[in-house]
A and B are shown apart, each in its own frame.
Chain A
Amino acid sequence: MNLAELEKEITRSWPAGVKIQGGGDPRFLLIEPDIGLLRDLCGWLFTVASLPFCGTIAEEGAEEWELRHIFYGVKGGGWVQVMARRPLAVNTFPSISTMVHAASWQEREIEDLFGLTFEGHPLLGDFVLHNDVWQEGVEPMRHRFNARTPVAGRRPDPDWRPRRIVQAPGSFIMPIGPVFAGANESVHLELETVGEDVIRAFSRLFYKYRGVEKIAEGRSAQDVLLLAERFSATTAFAHALAFCQAVENICAVEVPVRAAVLRIFIAELERFRHHVGAISAICESTALAVAASQTAILEEDLLRLSGALAGHRYLFGLAALGGMTQDLDNKACRDALRKCQEVLRRLEGLEEMLRFSSSFLDRLEEVGFISTAEARNHSLVGPLARASGVVHDLRKIQPYSGYERFSFETPKEREGDGYARLRILFEESRQSVQLMEQVVAALEPGSVEVPVRLRAGAALGWAEAPRGAAFHWLRLGEDGRVARYRINPPSFINWHGFHLSVENFAFQDLPIILATLDLSVAENDR
């Protein structure tokens, strides 16, 4: 079903109360239902029309609240945007998460940061801003809130305690984090158990909340690019790319062909490096020391390669509004590709050995299982979803930067366990190097940057980051400064599904499951 067919289907099924706006960007189907129909319409899109959910954007307008629920247009590409408005004085919206479970965390976040209430949502409060540090009602994303200074007069809740659901005799909560085991990102996990198996898992995130979306407001687009690049540095280029594309969409700028091709080259280099690192982390979690060291060597080789090629090991400072900041030499790209091919060859040698290391496989197979139905229900993205049979690859379904010119496969597995996720990482690494080969062959001389004249407007930018689909929604004001910035990173979407993979597994599987899920806290917390 493409967007035109979907539009017909909506008019047929929803004859009254649903406005469809024509014109504008043909990649977007804009729907505005009556507020009373919002929940049912979103539920219909999610369940009957089977559109995966992508994210929610809340915005405080001059007179009214604007809420945009965005769904994928699946097969035919494009996006479906469901718009809802309320006057500023009425700060409640009907919750859609009773019908669209994937929207649950989006609504919780908006409730915590904007102070909007979602009628019918079962669990609101204490999400981004922890109640043992902040009082309710701080609402930092409101325009009236000053982001520059610390909040005075904190009244944290001294009685805050973790929620206990399991009431069986002898049950207890095993707390983990925020500072735990070696060099880990700060996250707090509460695992409810009666002994060996985890019965219920609860993740408390946002210890690292840096308010990126808020502090971006009022800054120039150039400076917000630095934020976009630096909030999750292990996938810096993908996020910088998504942000640049949002700006370019607003300003209707066409990036030069050479810049677009180089962007793919760098994005795939980053994906390859990230996946090798993720594979290394999996080997390390299973205490297979030699394999962990061997893959760590490959990762460091790729980091050094990035540093020598682009001047920064994590590829900072490469993406620019309207292209790339520097032109990479054709020969340098060819040399980099040769080294990547060499790294891939060694990685494949290790893959072959890992496939026959039974002690390693025993720790991964049938562990950390996420079913296809649950992956759909949470609209999970990235390698994690592909291992459970849900393929959302933005490079395929809504190509950007010229990905449609190149041929590659998006791998898919059905099992949804740790081993399936490992196989996806290996296969995507192969595809990335193969894409880089095509890109280097397609390099043509030309400029790499066009000037961007900033203008007011709003647009969505997207990129398939190594961990999955990343969405950056941006509104520029009349002065060319950022008025509203919304990042919907893949880790935020995927942490929502974290509990699925841990529940009903033993404690000692937790580090391995965490490694195979490859969730980033920095990317989630923003």
Chain B
Amino acid sequence: MSQWVRRGIQTGIKTTAYPKRQETAAGVSPGLPIGGDYPARTIAELIERCPTQALSEIDRRLVVDYRRCVHCSRCRNDPAMAVVWQQGYEWAGLAAGGEQPELPGNEFRHSVNILVVDAGDCGACLHEVKQLNNPYYNMHRLGFFITPTPRQADVLLVVGPGSDQMRVALQKAYEAMPTPKRVVAVGTCALSGSVFGPSFVSAGGIGQILPVDIEIPGQPPPPLAILHGLLAVVGRKAPVALTSPELPVIPKERV
């Protein structure tokens, strides 16, 4: 077995410098569209193209609701009227009614145990959550651990739109967690239902089932975005706006 030890040491350190420094490697994030000033006709056409109503027009500016964007790229494929996309990943925002995380010194300042519940996820968000354990992201160094039992969990991480048959299991898991506890909704499905919900078997997001504190947009959010969300839920990073440009009030859900 010594060969494995040798191989491990030879590989060196792969881990990202985030959150101390920003990660700049290519391909760590799919990006999100940036709203703002565009010609009126372009705005109308783009809104028409968006399949999930993530785009809207407020005060003659294009507003992107990140909780609805599914990275379909329809707003950037046509060079004649393309929206500029940002390549960042610090996307996690405070949910409406979510608890404002206090600055360091709160009850989550030590290591945090996370229970992951899959409520109808397509596999991508869950896969990105798993990537947090790989050497590139290694969330253990930041004090985050995945736990198999709700009794030990401080944070409930939910992926998927909230499928009907997972509703009971999800609620039971939440109730079994000791207080204080936080809920993080991961991915566009968990925030708005995405292309799946609301429907006869899916909720329109986890917020309709549980009180969500932090929302992480993206389909799927890349591992660094999930890391940002975890840091935000324990108050070690500030949450950001869930719309672009930032709006004082998040627009109501459209039907």
Contact = CB atoms under 8 A, between A and B. Distances in A.
A236 B122 CA distance: 9
Contact of B219 (A208, A296, A305, A316): A316
A186 B200 contact: no
B166 A178 contact: yes
Nearest to A138: B200
Contacts of B196: 210, 212, 215, 227, 230
A377 B18 CA distance: 51
A296 B15 CA distance: 12
Interface in B39-82: 51, 70-74, 77
Contacts of B3: 353
Contact of B72 (A179, A211, A317, A525): A317
Nearest to B194: A230
B134 A293 contact: yes
B166 A207 contact: yes
B96 interface: no
B71 A317 contact: yes
Given A179-B117, A207-B169, A290-B5, A303 B199 contact: no
B235 interface: no
Interface string B94-137: 00000000000000000000011111111110111111011110
A206 interface: yes
A314 interface: yes
A316 B71 contact: yes
Contact of B77 (A182, A308, A326): A326
A148 B197 CA distance: 8
A133 B73 contact: no
Contacts of A359: 1
B131 A300 contact: yes
A203 interface: no
A185 B164 contact: no
A245 to B, nearest CB: 20
Interface stretch (B20-28, B237-245, B246-254): B20-28
A184 B161 CA distance: 16
A226 B123 contact: no
A325 B120 CA distance: 28
Contact of B30 (A234, A293, A307): A307
A223 B194 CA distance: 12
Contact of B27 (A129, A180, A305, A316): A305
A406 to B, nearest CB: 26
A180 B148 contact: yes
A209 B164 contact: yes
A293 B8 CA distance: 9
A246 interface: no
A519 B131 CA distance: 18
A214 B74 CA distance: 24
Nearest to B29: A307
B210 interface: no
A183 B116 contact: yes
B73 A325 contact: yes
B134 A211 contact: no
Contacts of B160: 208
B201 interface: yes
A296 B195 contact: no
B123 A233 contact: yes
Contacts, number: 202
Contact of B119 (A186, A206, A230): A186
B222 A182 contact: no
* Count class of interface residues, chain A: 35 or more
Nearest to A204: B165
B205 interface: no
Interface in A230-274: 230-234, 236
Contacts of A178: 166, 169
Contacts of A520: 123
Contacts of A308: 26-27
A137 interface: no
A394 B119 CA distance: 32
A113 to B, nearest CB: 11
B202 interface: yes
Interface string B213-255: 0000001101000000000000000000000000000000000
B199 A211 contact: yes
Contacts of A393: none
A523 interface: yes
Question: Which among B146, B166, B167, B173 has the greatest number of chain A C-beta atoms within 10 A?
Answer: B166
A296 to B, nearest CB: 4
B136 A297 contact: yes
A226 B74 CA distance: 11
Nearest to B196: A210
Given A179-B173, A186-B119, A304 B26 contact: yes
A317 B50 CA distance: 13
A13 interface: no
Given A147-B200, A178-B169, A211-B199, 10 more contacts: A179-B169, A184-B118, A206-B165, A209-B165, A233-B122, A297-B14, A297-B135, A300-B131, A303-B27, A311-B30
5 contacts: A147-B199, A179-B150, A208-B120, A209-B165, A316-B72
Interface of A: 129-130, 133, 140, 145-151, 178-186, 206-212, 214-215, 222-223, 226-227, 230-234, 236, 277, 288, 290-291, 293-294, 296-297, 299-300, 303-309, 311-314, 316-317, 325-326, 353, 357, 359, 520-523, 525
Interface of B: 1, 3-5, 7-8, 11, 14, 25-31, 51, 70-74, 77, 115-124, 126-131, 133-136, 146, 148, 150, 160-161, 163-169, 173, 194-202, 219-220, 222
